[in-house]
Amino acid sequence: MGFVWLSRRTSHCHSLSFIHIVREARSFSVRAHFINESDQSNERSSSVVRKVLMKEVKSLLPVILFMGVLSGCHKSTESCEQTMSAIAGQYKITRYERVTYGTGAVQDVTFYLTGCQLSGIYTLSADSTIIYQEQSNCTDSGAGRWRIESGGFYTEFNSGGGRNINLTTIVSWDCTNLVLISHYPNANFNDRFTLTRL
């Protein structure tokens, strides 16, 4: 509920800041023009204009500070929850790495993936169904179910491929890239996959 309220507040802040700035800018322009026109024959006009300009610049400082607060407020609404509803979508594997168990050394082995595997699209639905679809000339498409549980990412395919991401945990999720890593027992390395949302 707090998240929704914050988002609404941010939207409201955008509207207020835009209207405020436009009004200030118009008012500033009109006053400066009026003074310049009315006092141009006056030997003190330049001094008067300078004083007014300085006053107007000072009056705009609160608006500038307000925009800074608005920027921070907007960033605070960004959230990438590790939930099925937030992660649901279509993905492709864009990186495949091997992480050495003992040292944590990382080796990019994306080139090990076949063209069919690189073409494969994972469609994760919030109702826990998953479809793995390779391009038309490939033969390893499949379907099954998926779930997230205590940081673990689990898939169970009834047919076809897509099993690369079975029994993994979520390393990171930034609302676009979902990084998963395997946990093989008694292995020298684990597989780490980066799935990018389409």
Q: Which of 188, 149, 144 is nearest to 170 (CA)?
A: 149
List, for residues 39-88, the tens digit of each pLDDT value: 555 555 556 546 654 666 466 555 444 455 444 444 444 579 999 999 99
Hey, CA dihedral for 147, 152, 155, 156, is it positive or negative? negative
Q: Regarding the domain delimited by 84-197, which CATH topology (the fold level of the hierarchy) does it fall under?
A: Lipocalin (2.40.128)
- All structural domains of the chain with their residue ranges: 2-76, 84-197
9 pLDDT higher than 60: no
Residue 113 tokens read as 């993936």
Mean pLDDT rounded to a whole number for the chain: 76
Round to whole Å and give the CA distance between 192 and 194: 7
pTM exceeds 0.75 for this model: no
CB-CB contact of 80 with 173 (8 Å): yes
CB-CB contact of 96 with 196 (8 Å): no
Residue 89's pLDDT band (cuts 50, 70, 90): very high
